[in-house]
Amino acid sequence: MSDPVERHRELVNLIREANHRYYVLNDPTLTDAEYDGLLAELLALEAEHPDLVTPDSPSQRIGAPPGEGFESVRHRASMLSLANATDEDEFAEWHRRCVDGLDGEEPLLVAEPKIDGLAVELVYSDGVLVQASTRGDGTTGEGILHNVRTIRAIPLRLRDGYPLEVIVTGEVFLEKENFLRLNRAQEELGEKVFANPRNAAAGSLRQLDPAITARRPLTFLAYNLVNASALGIAGHRESFGNLERWGLPVNGPLRVVRGVSEAEAFYDELLAGRGELAHEIDGMVVKVDSLAQRERLGTIARSPRWAVAWKFPPERAVTRLKTIAVSVGRTGVLTPVAELEPVRVGGVMVSSASLHNADEIERLGVLEGDWVEIQRAGDVIPEVVEPLTERRDGSEKLFSMPDRCPVCKEKVVKLTDEVAVRCVNLDCPAQVRERLRHFASRGAMDIEGLGAKVVDKLIDEGLVKNPADLYELTPELIEQLEGFAGKWAENLIAAIGESRGASLPRFIIALGIPHVGETTAEALAASFGNIGTLTGATEEELTEIEGVGPTVAAAIGDFFANPRNARLIERLKGYGIDPRREVTRKESGPLDGLTIVLTGSLGRPRDEMTALARDAGAKVTSSVSRKTDLVVAGPGAGSKLAKAGDLGIEVIGEEEFLRRLGEG
Ligand code: IVH
């Protein structure tokens, strides 16, 4: 037998080379079986000689899960997003602004497909992949190195002539075929199917266990060398040339274009050819090639002026609407859903589409049994565009919303100021399930491992009826359930335990108060500081809050007035869940408690004036009413000024306003 050290080196090189040929050069030389054979031999050899294992060995793609969930990673440079153009005019407008920004110089442009996946940043230090992160908020993302290492298209080590540091951004995605296969497998396992390849990619990367990510056929293409300037590189094409040389797969086809008409010609080519690409693309990205020109153009509002995404129009398809089913959501709202004859739209199989409510069905004029046109725009959920009335044969049936809940059979109600019809039975099994799913979901208490399937099981087995019951579960109780044994049960209980530390806004979201989403929850948390105070808030106090109108205030009031909810909150408190938050409202600003209206043209931008007023403690509203205390009017003020006069409300000018703020 050959020398193990020698053979190890050989195997590592053969596997690396095979990956490179497959993912970067698109020219595989090994069959899948040969590749698997080499990998198996490598694993066997390393099992026998553990000292041969190095961190960049192809065997190390699947490592141990990180202990503490995802760490946050600060990006070296902000990960920007792209401004959009939806048609030729908007593209021409972007181009004109570029030329203006370059004092009349016409920039050389590069155009490439826009991939529909998930942006990631990779950092190579001395040729070794040392960091990988999601975009997050652009400044800070989630560290996903352990998962990214499982993606074979991403080299763990760079090739030829790489510099000390390489920072690159690109897209992680699934090819269309792999996406369909993954969804079929998910369906068989009774797991949730992904709405589109982008969600599938995101869901796969955000797995704590890299072994799961490794089973997902993710791939990667680079589209930006972030530290190109520091490396003395002049432009985008040169970046791509280098990235390829270092062994990274780059996005393509790349086309050099000058001016609007050349860009448009390439756009048409990509649009016509998108069906032949193995992966989904949702538009064309056009970038200024020269880094010096990019620098001069700069960035506005999180997107660079030097690049634009010219989106493809939504893809449409025609299919039969078999029936309209009705689903019941967390707050009891009945939603009609079009059950469709499965059809492929933009590379994704679509078999249902929400019709939102009865009014929407009436607006569309759609009947059960109709042929309908449906569309999917980018990551947007499929929707019914219109029925093809000329294809009707008389067998179609008019749909009407049921007057009983399809799940619990109780009578439904339609509130006067809502389009929605609701099941108001709080014990309705559909609502119980949705409330629990919502409570555990990522934006709420974020209980890892408590997905839809587990929630269903816990409910079916009678272990939980409401969120508070979760905190009484023990590993022993869960282990009794079929298929839920061992470490998994312990992890779930640990995750439930950890959720006790959820922040106040997340807890407010988790309660599932109708109309209260993330923004409102944040505002409520900042104003009231804890659930006890929020529970006691009057309608007046609630409507003082930015974004809380009478409907939302009433929903909040009703929620806390319901004895069941009060009991739930009490019980949760008993389990140690009673998050607090420092109240951020200023104690006494110069405009404390005043409701003011800004009107007419003011010297400073409207947002800035509004922010100043809010910081000073005022509530800024858009219309003048009896509740208004003060109107700040500039030249050209019209009806609001007149109304203020009618109501006898104090009116001041901008200068006086700033003086009162102590700014003037
Ligand atoms: S360049 C600073 N090129 O689109 C410029 N982005 O809407 C960085 N995307 O977050 C982006 N294909 O995830 C660029 N060929 C491409 C792209 C691309 C897809 C994504 C990327 C970005 C998003 C912006």
* Tokens representing residue 61 in the block: 């793609």
Instruction: Identify whether the C-beta of residue 307 lies closer than 8 Å to the C-beta of residue 286.
Output: yes
Name every residue whose Cβ is closer than 8 Å to that of residue 254 and which is 6 or more positions away in sequence.
110, 111, 112, 237, 240
114 CA distance to ligand 1 centroid (A)?
7
Q: What is the pTM of this model?
A: 0.57
82 CA distance to ligand 1 centroid (A)?
6
Indicate whether 140 and 229 sit together in one domain. yes
**Ligand 1 lined by 324 (C-beta under 6 Å):** no
- Considering the domain boundaries, does residue 16 fall inside one? yes
User: Can you tell me the distance from the alpha carbon of 269 to that of 431, in angstroms, rounded to the nearest whole number?
Assistant: 49
307-311/83-85 β-pairing: parallel
Q: Diameter of the chain by CA atoms? A: 100
Indicate whether 220 and 126 sit together in one domain. yes
Sequence length of the chain is 664
User: Can you tell me the distance from the alpha carbon of 378 to that of 19, in angstroms, rounded to the nearest whole number?
Assistant: 30
Q: How many CA atoms lie within 13 A of 344 on its CB side?
A: 8
Indicate whether 210 and 105 sit together in one domain. yes
299 CA distance to ligand 1 centroid (A)?
15
Indicate whether 563 and 495 sit together in one domain. no
pLDDT tier for residue 188 given thresholds of 50, 70 and 90: low
Candidate from 188-197, 461-470, 562-571 with smallest mean pLDDT: 188-197
Residue 67 pLDDT exceeds 60 = no
pLDDT tens digit string along 205-252? 887 777 777 778 899 999 999 999 999 999 999 999 999 999 999 999
Nearest CA to ligand 1 atom 23: 81
User: Can you tell me the distance from the alpha carbon of 62 to that of 27, in angstroms, rounded to the nearest whole number?
Assistant: 25
Confidence (pLDDT) at 274: 85
Three-state secondary-structure class, residue 128 = strand
**Ligand 1 lined by 260 (C-beta under 6 Å):** no
User: Which of 311, 337, 357 represents a domain boundary (last residue)?
Assistant: 311
Average pLDDT of 264-271? 95
If phi > 0 it is left, if psi is from -120 to 50 it is alpha, else beta; for residue 271 that is alpha
Confidence (pLDDT) at 171: 96
Confidence (pLDDT) at 584: 62
Tell me which H or E stretch contains 278: none
User: Can you tell me the distance from the alpha carbon of 316 to that of 383, in angstroms, rounded to the nearest whole number?
Assistant: 10
**Ligand 1 lined by 306 (C-beta under 6 Å):** no
pLDDT tens digit string along 598-647? 888 888 877 778 878 887 888 888 888 888 899 998 888 888 888 888 88
Three-state secondary-structure class, residue 373 = strand
**321 - beta bridge partners?**
340
Cα angle for residues 637, 640, 642 (degrees, 5° grid): 85
Residue 290 pLDDT exceeds 80 = yes
pLDDT tens digit string along 418-457? 778 889 888 899 999 999 999 998 778 989 889 888 899 8
User: Can you tell me the distance from the alpha carbon of 422 to that of 334, in angstroms, rounded to the nearest whole number?
Assistant: 6
Q: What does pLDDT average to over the chain?
A: 88
Tell me which H or E stretch contains 335: strand 334-345
Other Cβ atoms closer than 10 A to 487: 8
Cα angle for residues 282, 381, 150 (degrees, 5° grid): 60
Confidence (pLDDT) at 383: 86
- Considering the domain boundaries, does residue 174 fall inside one? yes
Indicate whether 240 and 170 sit together in one domain. yes
User: Can you tell me the distance from the alpha carbon of 445 to that of 462, in angstroms, rounded to the nearest whole number?
Assistant: 22
- Considering the domain boundaries, does residue 398 fall inside one? yes
Residue 630 belongs to what domain range?
Answer: 595-660
User: Can you tell me the distance from the alpha carbon of 444 to that of 434, in angstroms, rounded to the nearest whole number?
Assistant: 13
| DSSP result, 24-50 | ISS---S-HHHHHHHHHHHHHHHHH-G
Q: Where are the alpha helices (DSSP H) in 393-485?
A: 429-440, 452-460, 467-470, 475-479
80 CA distance to ligand 1 centroid (A)?
8
**Ligand 1 lined by 240 (C-beta under 6 Å):** no
CATH of the domain at 636: 3.40.50.10190
Indicate whether 97 and 136 sit together in one domain. yes
Task: Using the atom order of ligand 1, give the atom closest to the CA of residue 113.
Answer: 15
CATH of the domain at 13: 1.10.287.610
307-311/281-288 β-pairing: antiparallel
Higher pLDDT among residues 664 and 157, named by residue = 157
Average pLDDT of 293-312? 92
Task: Using the atom order of ligand 1, give the atom closest to the CA of residue 84.
Answer: 7
- Considering the domain boundaries, does residue 586 fall inside one? no
Instruction: Identify whether the C-beta of residue 273 lies closer than 8 Å to the C-beta of residue 327.
Output: no
**Ligand 1 lined by 171 (C-beta under 6 Å):** yes
CATH of the domain at 473: 1.10.150.20
Select from 76, 78, 114, 134 the residue to mutate for testing ligand 1; criterion: most ligand atoms less than 8 Å from CB: 114
pLDDT tens digit string along 349-408? 889 998 988 999 999 999 999 999 998 755 456 889 999 999 999 999 999 999 999 999
Average pLDDT of 312-330? 91
- Number of domains composing the chain: 6
Q: Where are the alpha helices (DSSP H) in 450-576?
A: 452-460, 467-470, 475-479, 487-498, 504-511, 518-528, 531-535, 539-543, 550-561, 563-574
* Tokens representing residue 208 in the block: 């704590």
**Distance, CA of 123 to chain centre:** 23
Strand order of the β-sheet with 218-225 is 128-134, 118-125, 165-174, 218-225
Indicate whether 176 and 190 sit together in one domain. yes
- Considering the domain boundaries, does residue 70 fall inside one? no
Indicate whether 467 and 520 sit together in one domain. no
If phi > 0 it is left, if psi is from -120 to 50 it is alpha, else beta; for residue 56 that is alpha
Nearest CA to ligand 1 atom 3: 223
- Considering the domain boundaries, does residue 646 fall inside one? yes
pLDDT tier for residue 68 given thresholds of 50, 70 and 90: low
CATH of the domain at 340: 2.40.50.140
Instruction: Identify whether the C-beta of residue 331 lies closer than 8 Å to the C-beta of residue 426.
Output: no
Nearest CA to ligand 1 atom 2: 80
Indicate whether 559 and 649 sit together in one domain. no
User: Which of 311, 337, 356 represents a domain boundary (last residue)?
Assistant: 311
- Considering the domain boundaries, does residue 587 fall inside one? no
CATH of the domain at 117: 3.30.470.30
- Considering the domain boundaries, does residue 418 fall inside one? no
Confidence (pLDDT) at 379: 46
Indicate whether 195 and 307 sit together in one domain. yes
Write out 131-193 in H/E/C secondary structure: EEEECCCCCEEEECHHHHCCCCCCCCECCCCCCCEEEEEEEEEEEHHHHHHHHHHHHHCCCCC
User: Which of 470, 501, 532 represents a domain boundary (last residue)?
Assistant: 501
Indicate whether 140 and 22 sit together in one domain. no
Other Cβ atoms closer than 10 A to 250: 20
Indicate whether 305 and 323 sit together in one domain. no
Instruction: Identify whether the C-beta of residue 159 lies closer than 8 Å to the C-beta of residue 103.
Output: no
Q: Which positions are annotated as active-site residues? A: 114
